[in-house]
Amino acid sequence: MTANVTGEAKSSATGGEEWRGELRKRLKTAEELSRILKLTPEELLALRRGTRVPVALTPYYASLIRGSAPDYPLRRAVIPHCGELETSPEEVCDPLGEQQHTPIPDVVHTYSDRLLLLITARCAVYCRFCTRRRLFGRGARRGIDWWPRVLAYLRNHRQIREVILSGGDPLMLNDRLLQRLLRDLRSVPHVELLRLHTRIPAVLPSRVTPALAELLREHQPLWLIHHTVHPDELTPRFAAACSLLAERGIPMGNQTVLLKGINDEPQTMLQLMNGLVRLRVKPYYLHQCDLAPGTSHFRTSVESGIRLIRRMYGRTGSLAVPLFVVDPPGGGGKVPLMPDYVISRKDGVWQLTDHEGRPRVYCEKSSTSNLPDPPGAQ
Ligand SMILES: *Cc1c(COP(=O)(O)O)cnc(C)c1O
């Protein structure tokens, strides 16, 4: 296809596009935000100075934080704060080292079997903890030949089994454009799986129309990975969007960034993860907050993340426990971190602890069988 794949395509009469109207009505300035919140000096300072990450709130998300206190988690997730203006020494511009694995602009090939496409730099709502802030404020770099180059790269790399549409938010594209992209990707025979990473159902649920669900279904197997950060985002509107997708057979996962003061309490995290499982969404990743510039006020210790996961096991079904991952700078990919249940191991004897801290032993070999005699044996 030759269309401009930046999400800027202006669709006029595609029908039933309430969400486009909502995008036009987003709150972006201090003045607009003052209509729903009494902004604090820290928030006003950040809005006046300007932040690396744009500011935009859909009317829907604005309704969730209207009149809330300054420390309300959803408010902190989307309203800039002067903490964002500070860069701490450990923070880096490209925290995931993605630029080293970028054969074509906005294409990241870190794992040989998976290709990540930063399909647009736009989002419906901008998260204050965004890890891809390097995408903002740069000029257009993509030529009209970008998409043909992506497809050619894909055809020439037969080890790529899975294509992940990320960004930005791929659901910022209109249905027509999305349809063409997915169809082109599906035309590559070795692409087995498609995946779409999006925060839109949580911040602009009107985007999830029956037409969109049908479009995604046509390109199955296609997994949709939500991005939520707090149980208050699991509203009836979000639930309806999940239900629509689940009814069309779209398998769903979720990723969450661990954020100080937003979701780092075990009760909050349990509520979020249990709520997602009820909505037929499998919690997949819990991310340590990446070292993106201006995010230190959100960052918890790695140790506390591991402790949080340990507390979740045994308190809820394992289906609701995500994998805790840290993505160290340098670009090697994600590293899973698990609580350590091994006390010692020697000669096939494992000294373990269970989720309540009780000692347990597992022997790989024993001189005498610990099985009961089979029935009828003498
Ligand atoms: C996270 C990520 C993926 C997907 O990894 P999964 O573990 O399969 O979710 C692919 N490419 C890049 C560059 C990533 O950061």
pLDDT exceeds cutoff 60 at 4: no
270 shares its domain with 346: no
307 shares its domain with 364: no
Mean pLDDT of all residues in 337-342: 96
104 shares its domain with 145: yes
Contact 219 CB / ligand 1 (< 6 Å): no
Contact 102 CB / ligand 1 (< 6 Å): no
167 shares its domain with 277: yes
Is 60 among the domain residues?
no
pLDDT exceeds cutoff 60 at 158: yes
Is 31 among the domain residues?
no
Pocket test of ligand 1: the residue of 164, 223, 288 to mutate, having most ligand atoms within 8 Å of its CB, is 164
pLDDT value, residue 160 = 98
Q: What does the alpha-carbon distance between residue 206 and residue 189 come to, in Å, rounded to a whole number?
A: 33
Is 362 among the domain residues?
yes
372 shares its domain with 281: no
pLDDT exceeds cutoff 90 at 148: yes
Q: What does the alpha-carbon distance between residue 223 and residue 281 come to, in Å, rounded to a whole number?
A: 11
Q: Are 175 and 212 in contact (CB under 8 A)?
A: yes
Q: What is the CATH number of the domain that holds 210?
A: 3.20.20.70
pLDDT exceeds cutoff 50 at 2: no
Mean pLDDT of all residues in 96-109: 91
Contact 164 CB / ligand 1 (< 6 Å): yes
pLDDT exceeds cutoff 70 at 1: no
pLDDT exceeds cutoff 70 at 185: yes
Contacts of 82 (CB under 8 A, 6+ apart): 42, 43, 45, 46, 49
324 shares its domain with 345: no
Mean pLDDT of all residues in 80-96: 93
269 shares its domain with 252: yes
Q: Quote the number of domains for the chain.
A: 2
pLDDT value, residue 3 = 42
Q: Which domain holds residue 212?
A: 89-336
pLDDT band at 332 (very low <50, low <70, confident <90, very high): confident
Q: What does the alpha-carbon distance between residue 190 and residue 210 come to, in Å, rounded to a whole number?
A: 29
315 shares its domain with 345: no
Contact 320 CB / ligand 1 (< 6 Å): no
170 shares its domain with 258: yes
Neighbours of 100 (CB within 10 A): 12
Is 310 among the domain residues?
yes
pLDDT value, residue 365 = 78
244 shares its domain with 376: no
Give 203-243 pLDDT, tens digit per residue.
999 999 999 999 999 999 999 999 999 999 999 999 999 99
Weakest mean pLDDT among 2-16, 118-132, 319-333? 2-16
Give 48-66 pLDDT, tens digit per residue.
999 999 999 999 999 999 9
- CA-CA distances (angstroms) from residue 40 to 30, 68, 87, 107? 11, 12, 21, 39
306 shares its domain with 371: no
Contact 114 CB / ligand 1 (< 6 Å): yes
Q: Atom 9, ligand 1: which residue's CA is nearest?
A: 285
pLDDT exceeds cutoff 90 at 314: no
